[in-house]
Amino acid sequence: MFQIKKRDGLARIGILELPHGKVETPALMPVINPNMDFVSAEDMEEIGARMFITNSYIIMSTKGLKERAIEEGVHSIVGTERPIMTDSGAFQGHMYGKVMVENLDVVRFQRDIGVDIATILDIFSEPYFTREEAEDSVMETYRRGKEAVENFPELNLAGPVQGGVHEELRERSARLMSSLSFAIHPIGGVVPLMESYRFSDLVMVIISSKKGLNPSRPVHLFGAGHPMIFPLAALLGCDLFDSSSYAKYAYDGRMMFPWGTEKIENMEEFSCGCPVCSRYTPEEIRAMPDRERHRLLAMHNLYVSFSEIRKLREAIRKGTLWEMVEARARVRPELLDALRTIGRYSDYLERFEPRTRRSTFLYTGHESLKRPGIQRARRDAERIALEIPRKILPEAEHPYSRTYAEVLRKEKKRFAVNSPLGLVPVELDSTYPFGQSIFPKILDKETEEEMEKRERSALPPIPDEEFERDIEQVRTIARFQFGDGGANLLLRGKVSVVKSKKTGKIRNVMVDGEHILSLRAEDGMFTLKLKGGERLHKAKNLRYRVIISEGDEFIREGKNVFAKFVADMDERLRPADECIVVNEKDELLAVGQVILNREEALSFDKGVAVKVREGNKE
């Protein structure tokens, strides 16, 4: 039902297959209220809508509408043949205190009107709930979810995660709901947090929920309708959003932007380039009859919202979503607090962070250094820099080996550069992220103080040693990428290099005459050759391995490894890591690059887990 096509950490571009078509995620589902149809589904489709959400409780409770929905189907009511999800009335329970419907009745109604995804009647966990009250909502939601799954196994059901602002309860709720055969998992009870700009609490709620959820199921952030929240939520792994805000804000004369909300009564001209703002002035819209004004403001809000969704999808494709989130965080202090709160969960997020990216690391503030993938790279580089005595050099222009070429030629010493990214062995000057990073000339105070502290703790004079710099570079990159154990296995023997005649840079690494590794120019990391895989194959305890349950002959021919055939894999592997593929007899089948980490590969039934580079046909 769902597979990942592209990823950037927890954010993913996926394909969600539903009875009425496929939807690319992250996706925004506009809320359509059949009683308020001043913007049609057709208009929304032209702007970018590919899936919709409506409220089954409202349809069920509206005389005439209920009968029509049963007779004609929900798609006729909404006016589209695209996928439709329905809510169950839980939000109305939050708003009004109670809804006059039973769980199985509302799920049955959703089935009867032909929805693509039906939602159980969960219990909305209010932010002010005590732990005991929130726990009651979690357990009752689970009970209702279980009865719905058992009674309607044919339905694509949404199983909401509840638990208020209690971190442990959110994770427990997620694990309970994941144990049932739901199609997607909304994160519920978060609208009050977003309305009061409690974005740090929102970060906690999303991440604690993600920790307990099945990674193969899409995550829907219920009620997340403002574009300024989309990039942050997508970064944390939310795949679906819904918006009734476009209409609510329009009725209140408010216009949504990526940086916040503006009242049209306070605007003299538009800075937005959407069709509405390009055609009209604020004064012209203010002078319109209510219905037309509401419609145009709603259209503007939809244009802005779908534009932001497209931008964040493109950021995922390019590997620049962190930069987008950091830029958006500068528009509101509460978003900046949320960005900093993410650091509390660095160990969890790091498991999903790719080892390398196609994009350049752009420093936008001290928070950039707190990205989980950057912290991991800094730790690994500094470990190497400090294990063998090195002379410390000041930060300089990339590549360090060219800037300090004369120093490297004259002195037979190992060097590390005191960079904003930490102590970086000079041999890593072309390796991601150190060689693909851009910093401002004037750094923030925190980063400067860190660099000054390292400078004051400079090591004593280092004596000269005899070693070959090309081989030292190979060993350093291998240690950084594969760890000390992997580097020792790969480089045991007589090491030599093949250089590009055009650039003079290392291209291939030979050991005892065998081609073991190739160095990628774009990120300064190694690709693993089959002979290198044979060496890593000597490692034990699952190291570097992806184990498949079947399909040996296809993998040997160089076909990719699909997630449904993964029996196990090294939990230390990260997306974009090099790996070896073996069968359950531990026979080497291929070498390749990891797409999914272990918990993802073991949960998905669709999609590629390893991109195979070279099969072992022997």
- The pLDDT of residue 93: 65
Residue 94 has pLDDT above 90, yes or no: no
Weakest mean pLDDT among 159-173, 448-462, 576-590: 448-462
Residue 1 has pLDDT above 90, yes or no: no
**Could you tell me the pLDDT band of residue 95, with boundaries at 50, 70 and 90?**
low
Residue 15 has pLDDT above 70, yes or no: yes
Residue 400 has pLDDT above 80, yes or no: yes
- What mean pLDDT comes out for the span 103-114? 96
| Residues in a beta bridge with 364 | none
Q: What torsion do the CA atoms of 403, 407, 412, 416 make, to the nearest 10 degrees?
A: -50
- The pLDDT of residue 597: 96
Q: Of the candidates 488, 487, 468, 469, which has an alpha carbon nearest to the alpha carbon of residue 478?
A: 487
DSSP one-letter string for 367-428: GGGGSHHHHHHHHHHHHHHHHS--EEEE--SSPHHHHTHHHHHH----EEEEETTEEEEGGG
What is the overall mean pLDDT for the chain?
94
**Could you tell me the pLDDT band of residue 453, with boundaries at 50, 70 and 90?**
confident
Place of tokens 């290099």: 497
- What does the pLDDT look like over 297-342, one tens digit per residue? 999 999 999 999 999 999 999 999 999 999 999 999 999 999 999 9
Tokens of 241: 């959003």
- What mean pLDDT comes out for the span 161-185? 98
- What mean pLDDT comes out for the span 164-179? 98
- The pLDDT of residue 89: 78
Tell me whether residue 87 is one of the annotated catalytic residues: yes
Give me the percent of the chain exceeding a pLDDT of 70: 98
- What does the pLDDT look like over 190-219, one tens digit per residue? 999 999 999 999 999 999 999 999 999 999
- The pLDDT of residue 167: 97
Weakest mean pLDDT among 44-53, 387-396, 578-587: 387-396
**Could you tell me the pLDDT band of residue 398, with boundaries at 50, 70 and 90?**
confident
Q: Which of 87, 122, 239, 523 is catalytic?
A: 87
Q: How far apart are CA 25 and CA 272, in angstroms?
A: 25
Does residue 29 sit in helix, strand or coil?
strand
- The pLDDT of residue 97: 65
Q: Of the candidates 61, 70, 54, which has an alpha carbon nearest to the alpha carbon of residue 113?
A: 70
Tokens of 395: 């930060």
For the chain, the maximum distance between any two Cα atoms, rounded to a whole number of angstroms, is 89
- The pLDDT of residue 96: 61
Considering 125-129, 198-202, 396-400, 440-444, the range whose residues carry the highest mean pLDDT is: 198-202
Q: How far apart are CA 539 and CA 260, in angstroms?
A: 53
Q: How far apart are CA 206 and CA 170, in angstroms?
A: 9
Place of tokens 């004051």: 456
**Could you tell me the pLDDT band of residue 456, with boundaries at 50, 70 and 90?**
confident
Residue 459 has pLDDT above 80, yes or no: no
**Could you tell me the pLDDT band of residue 61, with boundaries at 50, 70 and 90?**
confident
> Pick the residue with more confidence: 484 or 90?
484
Give the chain's domains with CATH numbers: 2-347 (3.20.20.105), 351-456 (3.90.1020.10), 469-528 (3.10.450.90), 532-615 (2.30.130.10)
CB atoms within 10 A of CB 166: 24
Q: How far apart are CA 614 and CA 611, in angstroms?
A: 9
Cβ(456)–Cβ(434) below 8 Å? no
